[in-house]
């Protein structure tokens, strides 16, 4: 009577299993570090976040952080994407059906700008900070790690939320207004520049002048947005 031979597992199968385990470990580590950083930002403020503090909360050494991120600013940017969570939730709940493209753009822009003005330091760092050119890829990876942060949205809004470039976030909706005859195509770049420069300027003012009320700033911004759209037939 001979002993049964153990089944031989192909080496490529072993390699796939090892790679899968490593990928899972990578995702877990990234998730812990990002969530720990977001918690620190919310409790201590953006300026008081350090690699040592993040490592303490997440349970990793500072050197581990630099094994996964280019620098502390990149990790902070990943964590900052978490601030889009409330905005995306509101976007998924707001009633947009039946709006024409101009009303649609105004409603979506108001929601986003309101979120920006509530957390000006975070949003300024995301869209105008040192790693802004990497934001699109960071957003994509963030949602692969935290898919629960991205509820079901119409295709065009899903694409917009995943876009890290402010110009491109606005451009698609502005082009719909042009297509529907609410704006002239020759004014597209001027409108994009004006709206984004306004958002940037308001963010700086609200961030640096604590006495400014975000809701009052939002009302002024929306008044100016209506003025721009009305002057650009």
Give, in degrees to the nearest 5, the angle at Cα 130 between 127 and 135. Answer: 45
DSSP state of 174: H
Q: What radius of gyration, in Å, describes the C-alpha atoms of the chain?
A: 22
Matching residue, tokens 């609200």: 206
Residues 233, 181: Cα–Cα separation, whole Å: 8
Question: pLDDT per residue over 92-132, tens digit each?
Answer: 998 888 999 999 999 999 999 999 999 999 999 999 988 88
Where in the chain are the domains?
11-68, 83-230
Residue 211 has pLDDT above 70, yes or no: yes
> What CATH homologous superfamily does 11-68 map to?
Homeodomain-like (1.10.10.60)
Please return the burial class of 196, using the count of CB atoms within 10 Å of its CB with bins 0-12, 13-18 and 19+. Answer: middle
pLDDT of residue 10: 57
Question: What is the rounded average pLDDT of the residues 24-29?
Answer: 88
């Amino acid at each position: 009577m001979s002993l049964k031979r153990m089944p031989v597992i192909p080496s490529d199968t072993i390699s796939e299993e090892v790679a899968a385990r490593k990928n899972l470990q990578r995702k877990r580590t990234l998730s812990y570090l990002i969530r720990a950083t977001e918690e620190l930002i919310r409790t201590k403020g953006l300026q008081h976040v350090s690699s040592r503090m993040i490592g303490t909360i997440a349970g990793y050494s500072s050197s581990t952080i630099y094994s996964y991120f280019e620098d502390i600013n990149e990790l902070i940017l990943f964590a900052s994407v978490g601030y889009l969570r409330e905005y995306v939730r509101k976007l998924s709940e707001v009633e947009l059906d039946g709006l024409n493209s101009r009303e649609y753009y105004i409603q979506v822009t108001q929601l986003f700008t309101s979120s920006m003005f509530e957390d000006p330091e975070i949003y300024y760092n995301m869209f105008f900070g040192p790693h802004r050119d990497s934001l699109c890829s960071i957003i994509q990876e963030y949602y692969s790690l935290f898919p629960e942060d991205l509820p079901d949205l119409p295709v065009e809004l899903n694409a917009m939320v995943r876009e890290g470039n402010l110009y491109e976030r606005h451009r698609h909706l502005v082009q719909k207004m042009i297509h529907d005859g609410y704006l002239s195509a020759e004014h597209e770049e001027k409108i994009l520049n004006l709206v984004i420069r306004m958002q940037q300027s308001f963010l700086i003012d609200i961030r640096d002048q604590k006495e400014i009320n975000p809701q009052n700033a939002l009302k002024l911004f929306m008044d100016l947005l209506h003025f721009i759209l009305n002057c650009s037939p």
